[in-house]
Copies of this chain bind each other. A is one copy, B any other.
């Protein structure tokens, strides 16, 4: 059995890296008691809470945290008609938080995720590891068999081209989960008791040209580098599908990172995922996705972007056209999604009018 860390108050006093340059985005429908366990690690940071579902409910945030909270009414007010691109009654609404943030980095975490322990029993400061991942380069063009060559005690192995050893900027750090693994409904149904107890002490770059299933539970990214691609799609209320929000963002993000020469890392840090969601409910949300992904993934594997696509926004708009053209045939849902992708970029640019000045500000990092 794996157990979460239960006494993080005694965690060594942490130096909060990038304190003024990172927002923590949390989508939720309940009181955020889970933050108590994260207090030593998260308290120095600013939180953006996106309230999922009924806006008349009041969500309690433990004292001492610095936060802003948006419910559906706020989203509608801020985005007007463009609010249609933000999902309702689904944690996909979290991407609204990415859009309103003014920081360079985003860390997003689910409210059923707790502090995990490393094999020595020490509470894992997940955010610190994400920041390490994202501040060191990625190596998408050639595989390093000793994993992340920039970690202490590791390097590039014999046969690794020297011209590639500078790496490329890291846009995404994808963290993993101990205890409840991120399985789909069929696998949950077949293996209800499976728990992830294996602590794999590795971070690695996902090679260029390789897609991966990006989970939004424990995820960090550089908003300046890839933010506009982190759209979590149309899920939940009124949509034919759920639980593909992060997958969609992951596919789009990876194709755009590959095109722009940016890196995506996966592996450490682990969080402790406490409760499995209901597999029957999940199956209902997922079942169309289970069919569709058989066509979506080859689509993304084959997708190429033109040389003119020099910004994330341009890449994303180009991708939305291809989605409409190629996936529109699979289901009319993808027509709607392609339109929402465009709306998302319009809304992003409206709220972030000066990408250039934002970058200049963040340049002091």
By a beta-carbon cutoff of 8 Å, the part of chain A in contact with chain B is: 119, 142-147, 151, 153-163, 174, 176, 181-184, 186-187, 191, 194-202, 206-215, 243-244, 247, 250, 266, 286, 290, 293-294, 297
Contact = CB atoms under 8 A, between A and B. Distances in A.
A187 B155 contact: yes
Given A181-B155, A199-B201, A212-B142, A161 B207 contact: no
Contacts of A163: 294
A250 B147 CA distance: 17
A158 B145 contact: no
A250 to B, nearest CB: 7
A36 to B, nearest CB: 28
The 10 closest A-B pairs by CB, nearest first: A159-B213, A143-B212, A207-B210, A159-B247, A158-B184, A200-B202, A209-B209, A158-B182, A157-B182, A143-B210
B155 A194 contact: yes
Given A145-B213, A159-B215, A159-B250, 9 more contacts: A119-B119, A143-B211, A146-B196, A154-B196, A155-B187, A156-B183, A157-B184, A158-B213, A159-B247
Contacts of A210: 142-143, 207-210
B213 A176 contact: no
A130 to B, nearest CB: 15
A213 B250 CA distance: 27
A146 B270 CA distance: 11
A258 to B, nearest CB: 11
Tell me the number of copies of this protein: 2
Nearest to A206: B143
A159 B184 CA distance: 7
A196 B153 contact: yes
B143 A155 contact: no
A157 B181 contact: yes
26 contacts: A143-B211, A145-B174, A145-B176, A145-B182, A145-B215, A146-B196, A153-B195, A154-B181, A155-B181, A155-B183, A155-B191, A156-B183, A156-B187, A157-B183, A157-B184, A157-B215, A158-B187, A158-B213, A158-B243, A158-B247, A159-B214, A159-B215, A161-B294, A200-B201, A207-B209, A209-B209
A158 to B, nearest CB: 4
Contacts of A159: 184, 213-215, 244, 247, 250, 293
Nearest to A244: B159
A156 B45 CA distance: 34
Nearest to A286: B158
A276 to B, nearest CB: 12
A174 B159 CA distance: 15
